[in-house]
């Protein structure tokens, strides 16, 4: 899959959250992804207690069903997990999935009010101590992180990674801040966070072109291809130059 996009964050599993609503819509999303140059997607339905009570078993069963109609298109296991306590223990108990059952976990922070930074640092350190690397989704859409970029720096210093949403780079109000984050080395991968075929489709090529033009192609390749591939393989990531 070298030289092709890998989508680390995609709500493609039907009826598990507010993503694909039917198997037919999921199939159309896979077709859009394939046509856009995406060589594999990580299925990341929400796990949020009381709202999306998905588990590793439920997710793996849904992936198995979708794979039967995917025409050999790779679909990897994962989830977008709301930040909380005892995450490593829940992984060990088989409740929470890691990305492709390796060593990376996709986490989501509340959009407007986040836990104290020291608590977040302890969560990251606890996961790293259990050989799990957390990846925080869409920091460019998180109000506290945008108001105080030192929080991102502190979490990266503890070993966390950050994944930006591709469509944010096309948003007129977000493009500038997104490019600034990338230039500072605050972004380790870019993914679609796709939910459907129209409003939030699985398309990476537009954002890839923007990063290639506004920054450079090596950075674009690292964020859209090399690092995502390393994540699904469970390997160390390429560092910013």
Rg of the chain taking only CA atoms, in angstroms = 16
Q: Which residue has the tokens 């959250």?
A: 17
pLDDT in tens, the chain (241 residues): 445 999 999 999 999 999 999 999 999 999 999 999 999 999 999 999 999 999 999 999 999 999 998 888 999 999 999 999 899 999 999 999 999 999 999 999 999 999 999 999 999 999 999 999 999 999 999 999 999 999 999 999 999 999 999 999 999 999 999 999 999 999 999 999 999 999 999 999 999 999 999 999 999 999 999 999 999 999 999 666 5
> What's the pLDDT at 85?
86
Q: What is the C-alpha to C-alpha distance for residues 162 and 95, in angstroms, rounded to an integer?
A: 23
Tokens of 134: 């957390």
What pLDDT, on the 0 to 100 scale, is given for residue 70? 86
Q: Any idea which fold 5-233 has?
A: TIM Barrel (3.20.20)
Q: Six-digit token pair at 160? A: 């966390």
The partner residues of 133 in beta bridges, in order of sequence, read 104
How many residues make up the chain in this entry? 241
Q: Where are the alpha helices (DSSP H) in 15-116?
A: 23-35, 56-67, 87-92
What residue segments make up the domains of the chain, in order of their start? 5-233
Cβ atoms 193, 159 nearer than 8 A:
no
- Return the DSSP state at 73: -
CA angle 200, 205, 206 (to 5 degrees): 70
Look up the pTM and report it: 0.96
Please give the backbone phi and psi of residue 6, each rounded to the nearest 5 degrees, phi first: -125, 125
DSSP 102: S
Hey, how many other C-beta atoms are within 10 angstroms of the C-beta on 125? 13
Backbone angles phi, psi at 10, to 5 degrees: -150, 125
């Amino acid at each position: 899959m070298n030289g092709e996009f890998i989508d680390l964050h995609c709500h493609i599993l039907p009826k598990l959250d507010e993503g694909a609503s039917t198997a037919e819509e999921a199939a159309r999303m896979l077709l859009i992804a394939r046509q856009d140059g995406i060589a594999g997607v990580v299925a990341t339905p929400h796990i949020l207690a009381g709202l999306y009570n998905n588990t590793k078993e439920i997710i793996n069963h849904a992936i198995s069903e979708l794979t039967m109609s995917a025409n050999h298109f790779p679909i990897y296991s994962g989830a977008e997990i709301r930040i909380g306590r005892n995450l490593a223990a829940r992984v060990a108990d088989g409740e929470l999935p890691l990305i492709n059952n390796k060593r990376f976990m996709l986490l989501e922070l509340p959009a407007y009010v986040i836990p104290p930074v020291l608590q977040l640092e302890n969560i990251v350190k606890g996961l790293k101590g259990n050989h799990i690397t957390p990846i925080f989704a869409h920091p460019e859409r998180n109000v506290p992180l945008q108001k105080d970029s030192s929080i991102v720096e502190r979490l990266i210093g503890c070993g966390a990674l950050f994944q930006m949403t591709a469509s944010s780079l096309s948003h007129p109000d977000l493009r500038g801040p997104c490019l600034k984050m990338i230039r500072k080395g605050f972004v380790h991968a870019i993914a679609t966070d796709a939910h459907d075929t129209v409003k939030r489709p699985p398309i990476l090529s537009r954002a890839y072109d923007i990063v290639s033009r506004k920054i450079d192609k090596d950075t674009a390749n690292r964020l859209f291809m090399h690092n995502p591939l390393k994540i699904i393989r469970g390997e160390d990531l390429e560092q910013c130059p």
